[in-house]
Structure 1
Amino acid sequence: MNVRSSTLPSSGSTSTQPLTRSNLSFRGPLMDVYIGNDTEPFKLHKDLASASSSLFRRYRNEDALNLPDEEPHLFELYAQWLYSKNSKAVFKDLRAHELVKCDDGTIDQPGAETLFHLFCLGERIRDVTFKNTVVDAYIDAVKRAKNYPTHLAAWIYERLPENSGFRKLYIDIWCWDSDELWFEDLESRDDPLTAPGAFWLDVFKRKTELGRTVYGSRYKKPWDSDRTQYHETEETEGEAEDQVEKDETLEVVTKSEIDSEP
């Protein structure tokens, strides 16, 4: 993690009790969170953000943070989710199951791609509950979608760890729903040869693990029978903060650095 500050905040919560929604104070102090190049900050209640995200828990003693590499439109959805009592309803307007024909004639699925980028945001700010909500929203989209773009595999294998719930779900989608039509009349970016070899190996291993007998109509798709198998579990506070510290792709600018900038 790249932290630009003359003084690092102390780690951990000032409270002796773990933060949960049941003991939050929405009259408590606020934190200004600057995203990308936006000059107007998001104002988040420290207790609320710290109860959900290990990144904000790590910096809850700061009055302002800048996350210069994040996208404002994604963080706005995160903030809406944070204040919605963790409801996936905030993702409804994404219409993630829908296909959109672009001006160049290609077919896109912008809502599904936005869910992927939201999951990546949750990964970077270490918010497990948010990631699990995004996975649930993607499963809801999968039930209605008729297209699963192959190019997502390259993004997933480049940006998400091996134990990622989203990654496991995407592999299972290809194991259970794929057929020969998925390999015909594809756009160049969805050419199967552009997907990582590790992805196809994982799909093959998963098919072998499940066996042929489970593919009958008598069997539910795994995300229908138990979607929680794609949920990730909360890390302990110490483990989560260690991961925040080790993330070299995450840049955080604290208030002292913001104030010193011209």
Structure 2
Amino acid sequence: MGELEKLIADELAQPVDPRVSDAASAIAALYPGARAVLFYGSCLRTGEIDGHMLDFYLIVRDYREAYGSRWLAWANRLIPPNVFPFERNGVAAKYAVLSDADFARLTGPGASTVSVWARFAQPVRLVWSADQDARRAAMDRVAQAPVTLLSLAPAGADLLDRWRRGFTLTYSAELRAERGDRPGSIVDWDPARYVRIGEAVAPPALYSDARWRRLRRTGKLMTLVRLAKASLTFAGGVDYLAWKINRHAGAGIVVKPWQRRHPLLGALILLPRLLRKGAVR
């Protein structure tokens, strides 16, 4: 095991609030062929759970095995991931479903969007796994993410600056509601962690303006497509979207009853308003 893999393995194994582990186990129990559940995002960084929505990725062996539904398996395979809400014992969460094959593909440098590797280049915890093979596979996929980010990031004044530039580019490649200083605050939350990981990566130089133009075009389009899909699979998805944007951008969005009855149409009508107001960009 190399230095990067050791660092990632140690990070994945760090303890979490028991409520997080309980939610992860309950999510895994819903799916035949579940392999791993990973916890990431702002609640991991801050440790805040009450009144917040936790973020998980559920890794499964095969979509058809996991769902037993052709429609959901097809949607997950065509436009990964599927996203679902979850609540247990007062803990609210959302979880994204990926097959192990898609997880490997989407954390690598050949991925057509940044959405998976940008998130897993940040701190992650492995909060449930089916067995030792599943743990090893999850570690391998997560370890690939920082390699991808730093490989595609332009050179900076120092290693932390390179991380910041990389995250800034990933935020530009999705429609995001977070404020403009968010990429830098991710690194500043634990700069020593990013130095350790960065020194162990020693990434090849793959930065290309043309590549990032493609990632931005594809990423913003896929954000819209995933939003439309989530409005069909995510109960209360329009309310969640409004809550997240109001929280990060202070947009004052109010969801109307008809938008809840017709979530796909409501989301598609809501988005242009948000773009005009600059709430997402």
Structure of greater Rg: 1
Does the TM-score normalized on the shorter chain lie above 0.5? Answer: no
TM superposition score normalised by structure 2 = 0.24
TM superposition score normalised by structure 1 = 0.25
Higher relative contact order (CA 8 A, sep 6+): 1
Structure with the larger helix share: 2
